[in-house]
Amino acid sequence: MPTLRKSRQLVEDQVRAELKEIRSHVAGVRGSLVATSDGLVVAHDIPDVEPTQIAALAAATLAVARRATMATECGTFREAVARGSDGYLAVYAAGDSAIVAVIGTSGLNVGMLQYRAREIIERIAAHSSQIGALAAPVTTASESARSSRALPRRRPATS
């Protein structure tokens, strides 16, 4: 278990460093996060927003956008950008099991974000398999043996 904790911390630290790169290189970025594709926060650099809510919204955005790109035969989903009256939310696929969400002010330089983020997303995607593994529940050998045993058959209900 300590090895898993160390591994998780290492991945979080590496990913958090990549997120800080986005903020330092792109004007108007308020913060960013990396989550699993099912919405669990892996690491974040968001000082003023609840990261779990953003992760859940990013996962929902990813699911809808993936479906939309498939239905319109646009290939594999890469990114979606939502513009609001006071800022932006950009959601990027980072490998098969990770999402990167970036929150920006209304002054966000979207072109620079797209340029800088792609390189950083690729580096985060390199951790995608580790990120997916972090979300998987850890089972012990005894739990695994119990779950693989056949369940007793139920008798049909009599009327």
For the chain, what is the mean pLDDT? Answer: 82
Choice between 137 and 77, residue whose per-residue pLDDT is larger: 77
Name the more confident of 130 and 78. 78
- In sequence order, what DSSP letters do the residues of 33-59 get, joined into one string? EEEETTS-EEEEE-SSS-HHHHHHHHH
- Kindly tell me the burial class for residue 13, based on how many C-beta atoms sit within 10 Å of its own C-beta (0-12, 13-18, 19 or more): exposed
Radius of gyration of the chain (CA): 19
The answer, yes or no, to whether residue 52 has pLDDT greater than 50, is yes
| Integer Cα distance of 76 and 23 in angstroms | 26
Express each pLDDT in 69-125 by its tens digit: 999 999 999 999 999 999 999 999 998 889 999 999 999 999 999 999 889 999 888
Architecture (CATH level 2) of domain 2-140: 2-Layer Sandwich (3.30)
Q: 3-state DSSP helix/strand/coil percent for the chain, to nearest 5?
A: 50, 20, 30
Q: Where are the domains of the chain?
A: 2-140
